[in-house]
Structure 1
Amino acid sequence: MDSQINSTIGSLKQMPYSLEAEQAVLGAILTNPELIEQVPQLRADDFYLDQHKVIFEAMFDLASTSRPIDPVLILEALEKSKHYEGPDAVKYLKMLIDSSAYAGNVTEYSDIIRDKAVLRRLIDASRATSDEAYSGADDVDAILDRAEQRLHDISNEKYNTNFVHIKQAIRENYDIWGVLRNNPDAFSGTKTGYSDLDNYIVGMNPGDLIIVGARPGMGKTTFCMNLAVNVAKSYKEGTEPPDVAVFSLEMPPQQLASRMLAGEALVDHHKLRTGDMTDDEWKKLAQAASVLAKTNILIDETSNITVMNMRSKLRKLKNLKLVIIDYLQLMHTEKHSDNRVLEIGEITRGLKLMAKDLGVPLVLCSQLRREQSAAGGRSGKSLPQLHDLRDSGSIEQDADVVLFLHRDSYGQYGDKPEGGEDGAQEVATTAVMGENEIEIAKCIVAKNRHGSTGTVKLAWLAKNYRFVSVENRGE
């Protein structure tokens, strides 16, 4: 009942619109048909009065098919709509022509029409949210997410310029190229912190969906947390540190922070867990904690989080530089589907669109299919390939970059080393860095929309939960 009363009260108020602006624009186009090219953002449903919608739609259809915007043809469309017939239709068109605006003001009148249309859409969105809130049929978070999405869609619609002229795109590229030409060390994208990898993918570009796939124990979570730290630390003194958002669907923030500290301090993570540290190690840990505390690494551990939930949270971050999700197979859509392949496809497409809308790179951890050896057992020896991505080919399709992590020394597939999935206690090594055992890992660039594919070697510091560039392994 309250919902009905609320809706009734709202309907008694006059919806915002400008009769004069609508008539002036239509009249001007009838008088000078070329003016329709000056209002490319205007749509038929931006007009409030139905007869004006019909007239503008007829104008648009004629212009889009290279036919003249002729009053006789407009009259035919108006009569078919039943809004005006016979003499009344002729009279109304004549009135529009008589009230036509000065050609130079058509764009301004068009802006008035669009602004009024936005106000009406805001009212409709508010009513829809109000009805959902009154009904109580859904949970509060879902209602909030949909309300925010409605507002976001309206805002995007208002400021979307549709076509970008190639001249503008070239100009923007030249600005970037000029910076790169004068600064060879610069990248158009965000640096990963691994120079050889950056040379392949030219950094992580805004809007990129970057898949990091690996079999259990290869270190995909560690690699992604290393990326988070590298990007979070990449700001100049006196500037605001970038926001790096981490959605951890598997590990709590405390556990991730512990791993990041071990990697930053180069202290054996096992010692952090037992407290058995020397004074020097304790000092290193304190220094690392001071460094990481100054960054803006933000960790969200919401379980069963959806793409819409993520988008809602990320929009509130004003200096967002990177998004990391660990990991894909733990995500679900709002309405769980029995077809997991289709559900994963919907998720990856949603994440790609989210990255594009937010204008930031998004790194997504993904599991690989279990590999069968020739004897029917499981083996982790062979290099992963694109078809190993688990659950859906859409992962490969939606991704701009696909990276696979692999370590040849990592025993049988699924045989996790003591210390957890990321292999903190892996003992097979190729060298020793101080007190830290290391081995050479492969970061395979299996797909690269921006360039070539290949393999990058990284040094894997198992006890420290850290990957470093091979040339930096002596640091």
Structure 2
Amino acid sequence: MDCITPNELKAVDMLTNKTAEKTTIGILLTEPETQTILDTMPISLFTDIEQTIIKAFKNAHKKVECVTLIELMEELKKYNSNIDISTLSNLTSYVTESTLLKSQLNNNLKILSDLMQKRKYFEYLKKATEKVLSGSELEEQVFDLIDKLEGLKTNNDINNSESVSDIIAEIFNDLQEGNENLIKFGYSLLDNNIGGVKPGDYTIIGAKSGVGKSTLAMNIAYNVLKQGGKVLYINREMSKKSVMCRFIAMLSEIPMIKFRTKEIADNERDSRKFVRAANILNTFDGKLIIDNDSSCISEIVKNVRDFKPDLVVIDYLQLLQSEEGQKHENSEQRLSNVTRGIRNMTLKYNCHVLALVQLNNSFNGVMPHGENVIRQSSSVYQDATNVIYLHDPQDIEQMKRIHNSIGGIDDNAAAKMLERNLKRDGASKYAFILDKVRDGAPGIEPLTFIRNNFRMLDNEGLKNI
């Protein structure tokens, strides 16, 4: 048994109320009609001898509707306890002495329930500290502690689980609602094959630098906002103003260079475009949070818990840091812990995470596929629900392949697209690859990247401009 310190003994003593425990048992004995509460009363409301009495009381109550003093004593004999009938008789007299009325029983139970929660809180913190001191991973303990404390917050025991019938009923209710409220990505390849921005999913966008993964993430975030969703947009590379300028450029179609050279205010047409775009973004106040402060998973979890977003964008994954106490990790271990933390977060808080990753330089020119193309850690691919790759086609055959799903193109058209891609000053044609999808089929389509104003358009999107 672990050695209990004097401070711990003092804390435990402060988190019990023996008067409330004894008088509650006394009421149950003297007022038999109150014993119906035994069906739902947690044993953990009580401590020490009183907990043993309540355990026996509940078991006896399963056999008889009104448990007498003698019947309770018979049940207690099974527990090999030193409790005798005089102890129980003293509890009934305690009720009379304290003049606690039957009508006050519920208030008494509220006191015990509050103390029970505080004892659990104390125990969770104590165990988490012991595990960290014994060498357990800090991030693992942080998530475990958050789960348990969330259980206390909702007054649920963390070990409680839903029955099979409850889960099936929940699925049926979800199906009855239809798909009207399902948030879409806004790209047919993703919506048709994944089914939309599903809560609890973890989606990866992987690409080399400059191929548009941040732009694709911004376009998806905007599509979610348009549908009434909430977006937490985490960017570790740019200021909040820079991110917002990109959103405005995307909506106004003003080239980004004009934001840098500050030419917009002197141009009436661009000024009007800016105002229209700003007005649209203003409607998302309270729905969009841009965060460039969170540097590790525990900080992101705090924001997710408070904001409750439908979509969390992380730009990008390799820039997230280790938790305090894990600074000794190499880059692969760090990314493995980060991606496992994200997966836990999506399941716990029922949000969809869209995380961006860099790809290995050793795969230059090759159409990305599988887990080994992701820089630093293959565990990112394994943890993800869906994996998307963007790729700049390097030859005619690659360009033709990505167009097969929309009817195909000939060699001449493919060559012209490759030439335009090399210029990088207009609309580029990239491969939009859904490489992994847990509940659907992979696929590949062309995606048009309009670089000047951060727009990513699939074939359906091109028809609407």
Q: TM-score by structure 1 length?
A: 0.67
Match of 1:292 in 2: 281
Alignment deviations for residues 136-155 of structure 1 (CA, whole Å, 9 cap, x no partner) = xxxxxxxx999988853521
1:371 and 2:371 aligned: no
Deviations for 1:335-375, whole angstroms, at most 9, x for unmatched residues? 22323333322222222222222222111112222325xxx
Q: Name 1:173's counterpart in structure 2.
A: 171
CA displacement at 1:175 relative to structure 2? 3.0
Paired residue type of 2:21: L
Partner residue in 2 for 1:341? 332
In structure 2, give the amino acid aligned to 1:473: L
- 1:288/1:454 CA distance change after superposition, 3 Å: same
Q: Does the 8 A contact of 2:214 with 2:356 survive in 1?
A: yes
Partners of 2:280 and 2:418 lie apart in 1 by: 29
3-state DSSP of counterpart to 2:310 = strand
Give me the whole-angstrom Cα distance separating, in 1, the residues matched to 2:379 and 2:155: 27
Specify the alignment match of 2:310 in structure 1.
321
Contact 1:75 1:93 in 2 (8 A): no
Superposition map of 1:334-413 within 5 A: 334-335=324-325, 336-372=327-363, 379-409=364-394
- How far off its partner does 1:115 sit? 4.4
- SS of 1:323's partner is strand
**1:217 pairs with 210, 230, 236, which one?**
210
Determine if the alignment matches structure 1 residue 117 to structure 2 residue 116: yes
Number of aligned residue pairs: 399
1:381 and 1:258 mapped to 2: Cα distance?
Answer: 33
Match of 2:225 in 1: 232
Q: SS at 1:167's partner residue?
A: helix
The answer to which structure has the higher helix fraction is 2
Q: Which has the larger radius of gyration?
A: 2
State how far apart, in whole Å, the 1-side matches of 2:241 and 2:453 are.
16
Structure 1 residues 121, 220: closer, same or farther in 2, change over 3 A?
same
Whether the 8 Å CA contact 2:17–2:112 is kept in 1: the answer is no
Deviation at 1:408, TM superposition (A): 0.9
Whether the 8 Å contact between 1:232 and 1:243 is mirrored in structure 2 is: yes
1:416-462 deviation digits (Å, cap 9, x = unpaired): xxxxxxxxxxx966889xxx932332222222122222224322112
Give the structure 1 partner of residue 234 of structure 2.
247
Of 13, 18, 21, which aligns to 1:19? 21
- The answer to whether the Cα contact below 8 Å between 1:430 and 1:439 also exists between their aligned partners in 2 is no
Residue identity opposite 1:232 in structure 2: L
CA deviation vs aligned residue, 1:277-330 (integer Å, no higher than 9, x gap): 654344323211221122132111116x2222122223222x622111111111
Which residue of 2 is the match for residue 196 of structure 1?
189
* Residue 155 (structure 1) aligns with: 153
Tell me which residue corresponds to 1:472: 461
Distance 1:153 1:288 in 2: 42
- 1:242-263 CA-partner distances (Å, limit 9, x unpaired): 4311111111112211222221
- Indicate the SS of the match to 1:315: helix
Matched, 1:451 2:440: yes
Aligned to 2:255: 268
* 8 Å CA contact 2:22, 2:91 repeated in 1: no
**Tell me, what secondary structure is at the counterpart of 2:156?**
helix
Structure 2 residue 48 is matched with structure 1 residue 50: yes
Give the deviation of 1:74 after TM superposition: 6.9
The separation in 1 between residues aligned to 2:271 and 2:116, in whole angstroms, is: 62
Which has the higher mean CA deviation after the structures are superposed, 398-407 or 275-284? 275-284
Length-normalised TM-score, structure 2: 0.68
Q: Secondary structure at the match of 1:316?
A: helix
User: Which position in structure 1 is the counterpart of 2:426?
Assistant: 437
Question: CA 1:158/1:20 → structure 2, altered by over 3 Å: closer, same or farther?
Answer: farther
1:51 offset after TM fit, Å?
3.6
Q: What is the identity percentage for the equivalent residue pairs of Structure 1 and Structure 2?
A: 23
Contact 1:446 1:454 in 2 (8 A): yes
Kept after mapping to 2: 8 A contact 1:445/1:454: yes
Structure 2 distance, partners of 1:249, 1:125, is 36
Among 297, 301, 306, the residue aligned to 1:307 = 297
Change (3 A) 1:429 1:21: farther
Q: Could you report, residue by residue, the CA deviation over 1:4-52 in whole angstroms, capped at 9, with x for unpaired residues?
A: 999999777563474158758999xxxxxxx99x55x94x6x2441245
Counterparts of 1:213 and 1:248, CA distance in 2: 16
Inter-partner Cα distance in structure 1 for 2:73 and 2:6: 44
C-alpha RMSD of matched pairs (Å)? 5.0
Contact 2:148 2:158 in 1 (8 A): no
Which residue identity is paired with 2:301? R
Cα 1:13–1:73 change in 2 (3 A) is: closer
Task: Note the alpha carbon deviations across 1:37-83, whole angstroms, 9 max, x for none.
Answer: x55x94x6x244124556788999xxxxxxxxx9999756555xxxx
* Greater mean deviation of Cα atoms: 449-458 or 204-213: 449-458
Distance 1:457 1:111, change over 3 A: farther
Rate the CA distance shift 1:5–1:289 in 2: closer, same or farther, 3 A. Answer: farther
Identify which range, 216-225 or 440-449, moves more after superposition: 440-449
CA 1:380–1:334: 2 relative to 1, 3 Å: farther
Unaligned runs of 5+ in 1: 28-34, 61-69, 80-84, 100-105, 132-143, 181-185, 236-241, 373-378, 412-426
Which ranges in structure 2 are unaligned for 5 or more consecutive residues? 30-36, 59-71, 95-104, 130-141, 397-415
| Mapped contact 1:222–1:465 kept (Cα < 8 A) | yes
Task: Give distance in 1, aligned partners of 2:434 and 2:45.
Answer: 51
Of the structure 1 ranges 157-166 and 254-263, higher mean CA displacement relative to structure 2 is found in 157-166
